[in-house]
């Protein structure tokens, strides 16, 4: 019987599309009936991405020693057969970031973005890899946000993205124009593929707006700049008056972006709702509900929302609305307990056309946190009052406290002009600990969905924070053409999509994920004869993130080539 022993490689495809590779020691045996060779597994080494390369090298050397052979490792320090190793002639050329770009590229492909954009390239007859340019711009927003010039001139030279090596600056702008022409198609295809891949709930879609300001002195004038029409003066969400655009965003309850819009900076929130609802109607989503904070909750706005959108879910100002203080907060009855420290009960106020449906929500954990915070503030005020002999409201220290948003609500000025702690205000604030009130005109939405709706609002606000300030940093924008401004926002929203999926899969915020991935780097070694690209050893937290994302790390030797 002829025996042939060899190292066998097998691959298994997971449900999410990822591939896992395994190493096995096998030999061939002839089947007693058919006479055909059949592989028989002698030993399973396990997953290729989890094996220690040096252990395999030592096994090879052990077998070679028994057989009287010499096996050399081209990466071993004392190697003489190839002339490369960690000797005096080997130099380090550069170290590049590998972890973040690799993960973003893998998720980009998993969501179908690569295929969708390449199909658009093909239909447009493009010969340039615009899909790679868009991927580079999206990855940059999640790693180290730069301008398009910065991506091409500085950032790409610091990361390992060999598929983007030939890109030029003009390719970045041309890719943006291609995305602008096919934005709705890309958003729709990618969202539903993502929803299907990760089994996302799309029965409720939450919508809100924010603003993005520009450091310019004048708003867009089509007569002066024909391609610039959206930068208009308006009140930004930060409270100042400046040329700006309005960015509208629809997300799922998990915070996964559905679609985005860029509107003129003087557009009122209410006027956008009908357009957004019309744009999403053909997407066959379960329910598009307008969710907004208390700043939108007025009688005129509610009437307009009911006409334009149909259904809304609005936060209420508890302390400033008499009906809520009298009829909602004082309503007796048990809360229904849901998950995540969430409790809620329904309160109906009025009859007929005056009927209003409120949801009173309560979070015991948040109530305890707010109580401790208030006790700390009061304690600080007591210490401050004891420290000063002059307790008149005109004293400098008193003026500063009375002007502070943090302290003034718990202070009052007596008729004598003395500053005192307002104990009644302290007791009144305690009534609102851990509570919030939601108003809705949708009688079909369940108590739990309505209660979770406010959490959905917090999720979309967190998305806006990531877009504008913390992670992706949508501003400052350096574009003036309307199509480029709109596409810049689309690129940032694609980055938000990848960020939110990674956060949901890992159960960690993106800045924690990024910190772990930044530890994975690739170093280029070279001498006169060879060039070697090697990654560093995987730290435990980096390996954990890759496992959670179901992404296989590259081999330790990424590339080994001879210099010509």
CA distance 424 to 58: 77
Q: Distance between CA atoms of 157 and 477, rounded to whole angstroms?
A: 22
Which positions ≥6 away from 23 have C-beta within 8 Å? 7, 8, 9, 44, 45, 46, 48, 51, 56
Q: Are 114 and 170 in contact (CB under 8 A)?
A: no
Does the model's pTM come out above 0.95? no
pLDDT value of residue 109? 92
Read off the pLDDT of residues 172-197 as tens digits, 9 standing for 90 and up. 999 999 999 999 999 998 888 888 87
Which carries the bigger pLDDT value, residue 287 or residue 509? 509
| Other Cβ atoms within 10 Å of 193 Cβ, number | 16
Is the model's pLDDT at 399 over the cut of 70? yes
Query: What's the gap between Cα 414 and its chain centre?
Result: 50
Kindly state the percentage of the chain with pLDDT values over 70.
91
Q: What is the share, in percent, of the chain residues with pLDDT greater than 90?
A: 34
pLDDT at residue 375 tops 90: yes
pLDDT tens, 115-156?
A: 999 999 999 999 999 999 999 999 999 999 999 999 999 999
Distance separating alpha carbons of residues 145 and 138, to the nearest angstrom: 9
Measure the CA angle with vertex 440, ends 340 and 330; round to 5°. 70
Q: Is residue 502 pLDDT above 70, yes or no?
A: yes
pLDDT of 131: 96
- Number of C-alpha atoms within 13 angstroms, CB side, residue 10? 13
- Mapped to the 3 state alphabet, what secondary structure does 362-425 carry? ECHHHHHHHHHHHHHHHHHHHHHHHHCCCCECCCHHHHHHHHCCCCHHHEEECCCCEEEECHHH
Q: How confident is the model at residue 73 (pLDDT cuts 50, 70, 90)?
A: low
Helix (H, G, I), strand (E, B) or coil at 474: coil
Residues 274, 309 contacting (CB under 8 angstroms): yes
The CATH number given to 201-333+442-506 is 3.30.420
Residue 514 has pLDDT above 50, yes or no: yes
Task: Please check the confidence at residue 82 and state whether its pLDDT lies above 60.
Answer: no
Reported confidence tier of residue 299, pLDDT bands at 50, 70, 90: confident
CA dist., res. 517 & res. 499, Å (int): 13
Q: Quick one: average pLDDT of 241-249?
A: 89
State how far the Cα of 155 lies from the Cα of 144, in Å rounded to an integer.
8
pLDDT of residue 295: 67
Lowest mean pLDDT, pick from 75-79, 145-149, 208-212, 413-417: 75-79
Determine contact, residues 33/12, Cβ cutoff 8 Å.
Answer: no
What is the C-alpha to C-alpha distance for residues 539 and 519, in angstroms, rounded to an integer?
7
SS3 of 138, please? Answer: helix
Question: Closest by alpha carbon to 478, among 215, 229, 242, 171?
Answer: 215
Q: What token pair was written down for 260?
A: 């985005």
From residue 349, alpha-carbon distances to 293, 355, 361, 432 in Å are 20, 6, 16, 19
pLDDT reading at 379 higher than 90: yes
pLDDT > 80? residue 245: yes
Reported confidence tier of residue 77, pLDDT bands at 50, 70, 90: very low
Per DSSP, what are the bridge partners of residue 564? none
Mean per-residue pLDDT, 235-255: 83
Predicted pLDDT of residue 21: 82
Contact predicate 482/150, CB 8 Å: no
Query: For residue 527, is pLDDT > 90?
Result: no
- CA dist 403 and 394 (Å) reads 12
Q: Which of 6-10, 203-207, 472-476 has the lowest mean pLDDT?
A: 203-207
Residue 80 is predicted with a pLDDT of 40
Check if the beta carbon of residue 401 is closer than 8 Å to that of residue 407. yes
User: What's the pLDDT at 389?
Assistant: 87
Please tell me the predicted confidence (pLDDT) of residue 155.
96
Burial environment of residue 279 by CB neighbours within 10 A (0 to 12, 13 to 18, 19 or more)? middle
Query: What is the arithmetic mean of pLDDT over 36-50?
Result: 81
Q: What is the mean pLDDT of the chain?
A: 84
Res 2 pLDDT > 50: no
Q: Among the listed ranges 164-168, 313-317, 362-366, 490-494, which one has the minimum average pLDDT value?
A: 313-317
**Any idea where the domains of the chain sit in the sequence?**
4-66, 99-181, 201-333+442-506, 365-430
Residues 6+ apart with CB under 8 A from 392: 398, 417, 418, 419
Which range among 270-279, 458-467, 533-542 shows the weakest confidence by mean pLDDT?
270-279
Contacts of 295 by beta carbon, 8 Å cutoff, 6+ apart: none
Tokens of 323: 């009906």
Residue 444 per-residue DSSP state: S
Flag the least confident range among 10-14, 254-258, 284-288, 495-499. Answer: 284-288
Question: Considering just the CA atoms, what is the radius of gyration of the chain in Å?
Answer: 31
CA–CA distance, 349 with 379 (Å, rounded to integer): 39
Per-residue 3-state assignment (H helix, E strand, C coil) for 55-113: HHHHHHHHHHHHCCCCCCCCCCCCCCCCCCCCCCCCEEEEEEECHHHHHHHHHHHHCCH
Q: Is 507 left (phi over 0), alpha (psi -120 to 50) or beta?
A: left
pLDDT at residue 533 is higher than 70: yes
Q: Is 356 helix (H, G, I), strand (E, B) or coil?
A: strand
Confidence (pLDDT) at 76: 57
Query: pLDDT tens, 192-219?
Result: 888 887 777 676 677 778 888 888 888 8
524: phi then psi, degrees, rounded to nearest 5:
-100, 120
Which tens digit of pLDDT belongs to each residue from 218-231? Answer: 888 887 777 888 99
Measured over the CA atoms of residue 333, residue 336, residue 342 and residue 347, the dihedral's sign is negative
What pLDDT, on the 0 to 100 scale, is given for residue 203?
A: 65
CA 370/CA 513 separation, integer angstroms = 29
In terms of Cα–Cα distance, which of 471, 527, 432, 508 is closest to 138?
471
Contact between 496 and 466 (Cβ < 8 Å): yes
Least confident of 82-91, 361-370, 392-401, 428-437: 82-91
Q: What is the pLDDT of residue 512?
A: 95
* Whether the Cβ atoms of residue 474 and residue 467 lie closer than 8 Å to each other: yes
């Amino acid at each position: 019987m002829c025996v042939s022993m060899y190292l066998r490689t097998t691959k298994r495809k997971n449900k999410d599309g990822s591939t896992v590779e395994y190493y096995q020691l096998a030999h061939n045996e002839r089947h007693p009936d058919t006479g055909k060779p059949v592989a028989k597994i002698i030993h399973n080494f396990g997953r290729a991405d989890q094996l220690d390369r040096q252990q395999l090298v030592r096994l090879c050397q052990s077998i070679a020693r028994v057989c009287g052979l010499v096996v050399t490792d081209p990466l071993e320090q004392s190697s003489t057969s190839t002339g490369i190793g960690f000797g005096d002639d080997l130099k380090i050329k550069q170290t590049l970031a590998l972890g973040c770009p690799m993960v973003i590229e893998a998720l980009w492909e998993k969501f179908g973005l690569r295929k969708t954009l390449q199909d658009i390239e093909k239909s447009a007859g493009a010969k340039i890899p615009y899909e790679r340019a868009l991927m580079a711009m999206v990855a940059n927003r999640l790693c180290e946000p730069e301008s398009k010039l910065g991506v091409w001139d500085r950032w790409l030279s610091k990361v390992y993205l060999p598929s983007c090596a030939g890109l030029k600056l003009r390719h970045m702008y041309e890719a943006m124009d291609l995305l602008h022409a096919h934005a709705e198609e890309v958003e729709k295809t990618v969202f539903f593929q993502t929803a299907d891949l990760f089994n996302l709930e799309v029965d409720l879609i939450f919508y809100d707006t924010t603003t993005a300001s520009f450091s310019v002195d004048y708003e867009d004038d089509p007569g002066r700049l024909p391609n610039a029409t959206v930068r208009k003066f308006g009140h930004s969400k930060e409270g100042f008056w400046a040329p700006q655009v309005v960015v509208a965003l629809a997300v799922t309850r998990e915070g996964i972006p559905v679609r985005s819009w860029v509107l003129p900076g003087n557009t009122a929130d209410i006027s956008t709702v009908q357009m957004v609802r019309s744009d999403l109607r053909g997407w066959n989503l379960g329910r598009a509900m307008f969710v907004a904070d208390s700043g939108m909750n007025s009688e005129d706005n509610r009437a307009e929302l009911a006409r334009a959108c149909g259904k809304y879910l609005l936060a209420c100002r508890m302390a400033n609305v008499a009906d809520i203080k009298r009829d909602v907060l004082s309503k007796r009855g048990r809360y229904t307990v849901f998950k995540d420290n969430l409790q809620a009960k329904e309160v109906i106020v009025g009859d007929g056309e005056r009927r209003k449906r409120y949801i009173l929500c309560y979070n015991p954990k948040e109530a305890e946190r707010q109580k401790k915070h208030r006790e700390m503030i009061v304690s600080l005020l007591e210490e401050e009052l004891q420290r000063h002999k002059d307790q008149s409201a005109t004293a400098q220290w008193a003026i500063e406290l009375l002007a502070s948003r943090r302290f003034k609500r718990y202070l009052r000025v007596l008729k004598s002009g003395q500053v005192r702690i307002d104990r009644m205000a302290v007791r009144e604030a305690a009534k609102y600990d851990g509570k919030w009130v939601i108003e809705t005109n949708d009688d079909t939405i369940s108590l739990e969905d309505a209660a979770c709706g406010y959490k959905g609002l917090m999720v979309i606000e967190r998305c806006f924070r990531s877009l504008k300030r913390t992670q992706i940093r949508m501003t400052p924008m350096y574009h003036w053409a309307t199509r480029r401004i709109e596409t810049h926002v689309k690129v940032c929203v694609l980055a938000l999509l990848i960020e939110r999926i990674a956060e949901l899969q890992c159960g960690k915020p993106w800045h924690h994920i990024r910190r772990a991935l930044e530890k994975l780097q690739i170093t280029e070694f070279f001498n006169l004869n060879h060039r070697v690209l090697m990654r560093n050893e995987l730290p435990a937290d980096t390996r954990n993130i890759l496992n959670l994302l179901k992404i296989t790390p590259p081999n330790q030797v990424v590339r080994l080539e001879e210099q010509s």
